[in-house]
């Protein structure tokens, strides 16, 4: 099951990543009167979104895949800088949560690579 899911993600990693990046960008920069009520904290949502963004790339590991991680973190910082100009609030703690999500995605992918390779050795 894990192998089938990771195989699918590895095959379509670019499309998945671009869709998630577009959703994050639009959701972060779309002007709103009030943010919708959602369970959990704002930082948790940032963390999960950027973990989901980085995971396909970290699983596929294209050339310069760590540069993608840096790009995603810088992108999140740029979004935080732009948000005050579109009737939103930019917070540097949001960027920290985003960076944490990127780093956890890298750790999850490392664990999955280890799990899959150890299963193949059996």
What are 84-114's pLDDT values in tens digits? 999 888 899 999 999 999 999 999 999 998 9
Q: How far is CA 47 from CA 31, 73, 76, 82, 121, in A?
A: 21, 11, 11, 19, 34
The predicted structure's pLDDT at residue 46: 96
Q: How many CB atoms lie within 10 A of CB 93?
A: 11
- The predicted pLDDT at position 122 comes to 60
Indicate whether 3 pLDDT > 80: no
Q: What is the predicted pLDDT for the residue at 36? A: 73
pLDDT (0 to 100) of residue 107: 97
Handedness of CA 33, 29, 14, 44 (dihedral sign): negative
Helix axes 2-11, 92-121, angle to 10 degrees: 120
Q: Which residues contact 64 (CB under 8 A, 6 or more apart)?
A: none
Q: Which residue has the higher pLDDT, 74 or 88?
A: 74
Q: Are 49 and 98 in contact (CB under 8 A)?
A: yes
Domain total of the chain? 1
Range of the structural domain that residue 46 is part of: 2-30+39-121
**40: alpha, beta or left, given left = phi > 0 and alpha = psi -120 to 50?**
left
Question: What pLDDT is stored for residue 119 in this prediction?
Answer: 76
């Amino acid at each position: 099951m894990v192998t089938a899911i990771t195989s699918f993600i590895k095959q379509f990693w670019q499309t998945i990543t671009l869709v998630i990046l577009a959703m994050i960008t639009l959701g972060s920069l779309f002007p709103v009167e009030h943010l919708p009520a959602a369970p959990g904290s704002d930082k948790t949502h940032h963390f999960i979104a950027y973990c989901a963004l980085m995971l396909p790339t970290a699983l596929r590991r294209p050339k310069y895949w760590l540069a993608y991680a840096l790009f995603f973190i810088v992108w999140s910082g740029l979004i935080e800088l732009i948000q005050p100009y579109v009737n939103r609030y930019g917070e540097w703690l949001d960027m920290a949560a985003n960076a944490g999500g990127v780093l956890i995605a890298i750790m999850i992918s490392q664990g999955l690579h280890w799990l899959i390779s150890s299963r193949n050795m059996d």
